Structure 1
Amino acid sequence: MKRWRWLPYPMLSLSLTLLWLLLANQLSVGHLLLGAFLGWAIALLAGGFWVAVQPVAKPLTLIRFLLLVLMDIVTANIEVARRILGPQAKLHPGFVVVPLELRDEVGLIMLTSIISLTPGTVSADISDDRYSLLLHCLDVTDPQALVQQIKSRYEAPLLEVFPCSAL
């Protein structure tokens, strides 16, 4: 897709314009012009903050992976609700360090987002060298098993989908 220098992200500009019109809750020429200006200016100014997205090597693997993540989110919601509503003596919250093979920004963003979206786990910190991820977990009975589960269930498919993001 060819990008124009004066309009580098047309879909973002259009989306921001529509968002402005929805927030203003009025369709007038003034709001349309203001929304278009804000959409253009924000997209132009934010362009330097965008990360380069690697091409997806295996789109079908990505679709299967996203379905797996969706199922994990639903399952984790049920499990967290069961543990929260049950006796709290069974909870063992704690921090776990996960060594990483991913180096790509997009892959790391996806991994940390998936972990944080799954109830019961939160990505707390990533090391400056991107070699480890600190997680806070609601229930940590076996830290090594949790590390292996995250590496095999989430990191391995991301490495397969984005092969150039490995070590």
Structure 2
Amino acid sequence: MIKTRFLSNLLLSFIWLAVTGAFTFENFVFGFLLSFVLMWLITTNRREDKYFYRGPKLVAFIFFFLYELIKANVQVAYDVITPRYYMKPGIIKIPLTAKSNLEITLLANLITLTPGTLSLDVSDDRKVLYVHAMYVNDKETFIANIKNGFERKLLEILR
């Protein structure tokens, strides 16, 4: 169902490009958003249709990840440029709510993509993720940021 909605949204976006005659990225994005809103308006069971729930969550997650990526880059760059080191490295044991291989893999990769953190290992029972971090001022705050940030938002999209 999600694939059908997405393909319909893409088709309507390309129809929008053809009708307007302006084949630009901005016009495509506008057409995609316009067709998303139109499809949302004509759908009767919006609450049951996951496409209209996951789409905005995915966009919000992308902006959240970009924010975290920029914040981590600035923190690492500042630490490299200044003469004093602010690093407090540590290996943190993060309990996982994610259960499937896909959820755990995506979470581990998102953590690794963020500068200053590196996913090291997953426990054999897949209940714990070990993460090396350059800036561990407070262990509980670090765990809460991962659990309430990356993991919660990722699971909202995948489940």
TM range (shorter): 0.5 to 0.7
Give the equivalent residue in structure 2 for 1:114: 110
Q: Distance in 1 between matches of 2:70 and 2:86?
A: 21
What SS does the aligned partner of 2:121 have?
strand
Give the equivalent residue in structure 2 for 1:104: 100
Compared with structure 1, are the counterparts of its residues 67 and 89 closer, same or farther at alpha carbon in structure 2 (3 Å cutoff)? Answer: closer
Give the equivalent residue in structure 2 for 1:125: 121
Q: Distance in 2 between matches of 1:87 and 1:95?
A: 25
Matched, 1:144 2:103: no
What SS does the aligned partner of 1:103 have?
coil
- Matched pairs, number: 109
Give the equivalent residue in structure 2 for 1:75: 71
Q: Distance in 2 between matches of 1:88 and 1:127?
A: 35
Compared with structure 1, are the counterparts of its residues 77 and 89 closer, same or farther at alpha carbon in structure 2 (3 Å cutoff)? Answer: closer
Q: Contact 2:79–2:85 at 8 Å: present in 1 too?
A: no
Structure 1 runs not aligned, ≥5 long? 1-54
Query: In structure 2, what residue type is equivalent to 1:64?
Result: A
TM-score (normalizing by structure 1): 0.61
Give the equivalent residue in structure 2 for 1:66: 62
Q: Contact 2:116–2:135 at 8 Å: present in 1 too?
A: yes
**After superposition, where does 1:12-91 map in structure 2 within 5 Å?**
58-91=54-87
Q: State the Cα distance separating 1:109 from its structure 2 match.
A: 1.4
Quote the RMSD (CA, aligned, Å): 1.7
Q: State the Cα distance separating 1:147 from its structure 2 match.
A: 0.2
Q: Distance in 2 between matches of 1:129 and 1:138?
A: 26
1:71-113 deviations in Å (ceiling 9; x for gaps): 2111211111101222444321110110000011211111111
Structure 2 runs not aligned, ≥5 long? 1-49
Compared with structure 1, are the counterparts of its residues 105 and 155 closer, same or farther at alpha carbon in structure 2 (3 Å cutoff)? Answer: same
Please list every run of at least 4 consecutive aligned residues from structure 1 whose deviation after the TM superposition is greater than 2 angstroms. Answer: 84-90
Q: Distance in 2 between matches of 1:142 and 1:153?
A: 16
Q: Distance in 2 between matches of 1:111 and 1:155?
A: 6
